[in-house]
Amino acid sequence: AQSVTQLGSHVSVSEGALVLLRCNYSSSVPPYLFWYVQYPNQGLQLLLKYTTGATLVKGINGFEAEFKKSETSFHLTKPSAHMSDAAEYFCAVSDQGNTPLVFGKGTRLSVIA
């Protein structure tokens, strides 16, 4: 069965600094990988997804993630953090898009002025 591990339940960065949120997955077949963002008292919104093709995926709000099969990773990055990026971020995996998404436990991002 597929699973996701997000390293670090809380990450704090300064405004303008690089954002790096880590995600490692386990899947017995080629995975579909996702990053979702959750703002306080709201549902989850899709940031970006990898299904097939180009391994560097660009999403909304300047975020991007790179699928690295050899490392079973799908880390999320953004070159310059903005105060509005403060939220909870979830990595998720599906087996070739045929199974429901399994989510990691989330990483809370704080941005310090």
Partner 1 sequence: DAGVIQSPRHEVTEMGQEVTLRCKPISGHNSLFWYRQTMMRGLELLIYFNNNVPIDDSGMPEDRFSAKMPNASFSTLKIQPSEPRDSAVYFCASSFRIGGAGELFFGEGSRLTVL
Our finding on whether 97 is near partner 1 (CB under 8 A) is: yes
Question: Which of 30, 36, 62 has its CA nearest to residue 49?
Answer: 36
* Nearer to partner 1 among residue 18 and residue 60 (C-beta): 60
Our finding on whether 32 is near partner 1 (CB under 8 A) is: yes
Neighbours of 49 (CB within 10 A): 17
* Nearer to partner 1 among residue 50 and residue 81 (C-beta): 50
| 13 close to 19: Cβ distance less than 8 angstroms | yes
- Quote the tokens at residue 8: 């670090």
How far apart (Å, rounded) are the C-alpha atoms in residues 113 and 33?
Answer: 31
* Nearer to partner 1 among residue 19 and residue 36 (C-beta): 36
CB of 6 to partner 1, least distance (A): 9
Binding site for partner 1 (CB under 8 A): 32, 34, 36, 41-46, 49, 51, 90, 92, 94-106
